[in-house]
Amino acid sequence: MDTHGEVIDAGIDYISLTMLNDNPNVQAWRNAASAYLQHISAQLGEMNYAKRLGYEGMASGGSFVGVRERDSIAIFSGERAKAAYERLYRRDTHVSRLDVQVSFRFNVTTNNVAQVARNSVSRANAKISGARQRNATLMEDLRGGATCYVGTRTSEQFARIYNKEAESGKAEYERVWRFEVQLKNKLASKLAEQIAGQTYTSSNHALVFVKQWLSHRGVSTPWKADAELLPLPKVEKPNSQNDEKLLWLRTQVRPALRTLLKYGLRDAILDALGLSDLDG
């Protein structure tokens, strides 16, 4: 990939946080989120009542602060997501979604970035087992726009690499391609916590994280990341011993129980398992 150019922006591009309403900090947290939403509203000249995802609240410019019976939510997108993270992230919040992006301007017009990314994932797949294969989808339009999706949109993590100039239609994004990774739930919370624990800025962290995430899937990126390497956030797999025990129950115990149940020995089964107190 051509590496001649410069990073024009990097950092958090979307954040969705929730906090339980029985948390003693929730009122102050919700007030801070509402205050930032008011700040955005003053700039845009709009504020509307809205309902999203079962929450009721106020929205302005793609951002939303709302509440429901169980918890409260704050959603901020685009350039405002960076400041929202600094103002609102706490370790007692749940981060349900976190997007991190790097926007790179090439020195010359480059039209094949998405295609190269897709082909790179395909080549990387040839070197790994079938169980670890990753999907990559290329979408193109007649306006010169192209997007490579790495992974699937319904999964807990995926990336998109796209022509920002074609997507936005704005001259300020001339020759700019965006490399963006989206994480959800536990992975999003882990990354948010990781960013909070670093001494360098969230923008520098984004340069490292996006580069490493894509490199792990065979995709090279055109910028350098000077910060030290960081472990990619991951969700621990269930205990393998538990998996083996569950498999044993399904394959060995269940057939025997079904046979005994046919003979009307339900009570005897519960007694043998020490579960007779669950009767009824």
Is residue 55 in a domain?
Answer: yes
Task: Say if residue 37 is in the same domain as residue 161.
Answer: yes
CA triple 61-65-71, angle to 5 deg: 155
Query: Collapsing DSSP states into helix, strand and coil, what is residue 217?
Result: coil
DSSP class of residue 274 equals T
Is residue 231 in a domain?
Answer: no
Is residue 39 in a domain?
Answer: yes
Task: Say if residue 143 is in the same domain as residue 270.
Answer: no
Task: Say if residue 180 is in the same domain as residue 255.
Answer: no
Question: In which residue are the tokens 């001259």 written?
Answer: 171
Is residue 188 in a domain?
Answer: yes
Token digits of residue 112 = 């094949």
- In this prediction the pTM is 0.80
CA triple 53-54-60, angle to 5 deg: 60
Token digits of residue 34 = 């509402």
Our count of domains for the chain comes to: 2
Question: Reading across the β-sheet that carries 48-52, which strands appear in turn?
Answer: 48-52, 55-60, 63-67, 71-77, 5-20, 94-106, 176-184, 157-163, 146-150, 136-140
Task: Say if residue 147 is in the same domain as residue 272.
Answer: no
Q: Are 179 and 144 in contact (CB under 8 A)?
A: no
pLDDT value for 227:
61
Task: Say if residue 27 is in the same domain as residue 140.
Answer: yes
Residues near 225 by beta carbon (within 8 Å), at least 6 away in sequence: 204, 207, 208, 211, 212
Mean pLDDT per 10-residue interval, the chain, length 280 residues: 88 97 97 97 95 95 95 96 95 96 95 93 88 88 85 91 92 95 95 85 90 94 78 69 70 78 79 64
Question: In which residue are the tokens 């000249």 written?
Answer: 45
Task: Say if residue 253 is in the same domain as residue 162.
Answer: no
Q: Are 125 and 151 in contact (CB under 8 A)?
A: no
Task: Say if residue 65 is in the same domain as residue 198.
Answer: yes
Stated as kind and residue range, the H or E segment containing 197 is none
Task: Say if residue 189 is in the same domain as residue 245.
Answer: no
Q: Are 150 and 213 in contact (CB under 8 A)?
A: no
- Final residue before a domain boundary, out of 175, 200, 215: 215
Report CA-CA distances (Å) from 133 to 127, 136, 218. Answer: 9, 10, 11
Task: Say if residue 256 is in the same domain as residue 192.
Answer: no
pLDDT value for 215:
93
Stated as kind and residue range, the H or E segment containing 129 is none
pLDDT value for 280:
47
Task: Say if residue 260 is in the same domain as residue 189.
Answer: no
Is residue 245 in a domain?
Answer: yes
Is residue 220 in a domain?
Answer: no
pLDDT value for 276:
61
Task: Say if residue 191 is in the same domain as residue 245.
Answer: no
pLDDT value for 240:
58
With both helix axes pointing from N to C terminus, report the angle between 80-88 and 26-44 in degrees, rounded to the nearest 10: 160
Compute the distance between CA of residue 173 and CA of residue 154 in angstroms, rounded to an integer: 28
The one-letter amino acid code at 244 reads: E
Task: Say if residue 116 is in the same domain as residue 169.
Answer: yes
Is residue 230 in a domain?
Answer: no
Domain that holds residue 172: 5-215
Within the chain, residue ranges assigned H as helices are: 26-44, 80-88, 113-125, 164-168, 185-196, 202-215, 240-248, 254-262, 266-272
Is residue 170 in a domain?
Answer: yes
Q: DSSP 3-state helix, strand, coil percentages of the chain (rounded to 5)?
A: 40, 30, 30
